[in-house]
Structure 1
Amino acid sequence: MQDKGNPWQVKHSEQVYQSPWIKVREDKVITPAGTDGIYSVVEFQNSAVGIVPIDEDGNTWLVGQWRYPLNAYSWEIIEGGCPIGEKAEDCALRELKEESGLTAKTLIPFLEMSLSNSSTDDQAIVYVAKDLQMGEAQPEETEDLQLVKIPLSQAYEYVMQGRIHDAISVAALLKLKQLAYF
Structure 2
Amino acid sequence: MHHPEENPWKIIAQKDVYDNPWINVTEFDVLNPSGNPGIYGKVHFKNIAIGVLPLDNELNTYLVGQYRFPLEQYSWEMPEGGGPIGIDPIASAKRELLEETGLKADKWTEILRIHLSNSVSDELSILYLARGLKQFEAEPEETEQLMVNKLPFEEVYQMVCRGEITDAMTVAAVLKVRLLIIENQL
TM-score range, shorter chain: over 0.9
The separation in 1 between residues aligned to 2:131 and 2:100, in whole angstroms, is 16
SS in 1 for 2:99: helix
Task: Give structure 1 regions of 4+ aligned residues with deviation exceeding 4 angstroms.
Answer: none
Same amino acid, percent of matched pairs: 46
TM-score by length of 1: 0.96
Consecutive unaligned residues in structure 1, runs of 5 or more: none
Task: Between 124-133 and 79-88, report the one with greater CA deviation.
Answer: 79-88
Counterpart residue number, 2:147: 146
Consecutive unaligned residues in structure 2, runs of 5 or more: none
Shift of 1:138: 0.4
Q: What's the Cα RMSD here?
A: 1.1
TM-score by length of 2: 0.94
SS in 2 for 1:17: strand
The separation in 2 between residues aligned to 1:82 and 1:14, in whole angstroms, is 26
Q: Deviations over 1:33-89 (max 9, x none)?
A: 011111110111111100001111111100000000100000001101112222110
Task: Between 5-14 and 94-103, report the one with greater CA deviation.
Answer: 5-14
Structure 2 residue 27 is matched with structure 1 residue 29:
no
Provide the aligned length of Structure 1 versus Structure 2.
Answer: 182
Shift of 1:28: 1.2
Counterpart residue number, 1:164: 165
Report 1:20-169 matches (<5 A).
20-169=21-170
SS in 2 for 1:7: coil
The separation in 2 between residues aligned to 1:129 and 1:104, in whole angstroms, is 6
The separation in 2 between residues aligned to 1:31 and 1:150, in whole angstroms, is 48
The separation in 2 between residues aligned to 1:168 and 1:152, in whole angstroms, is 16
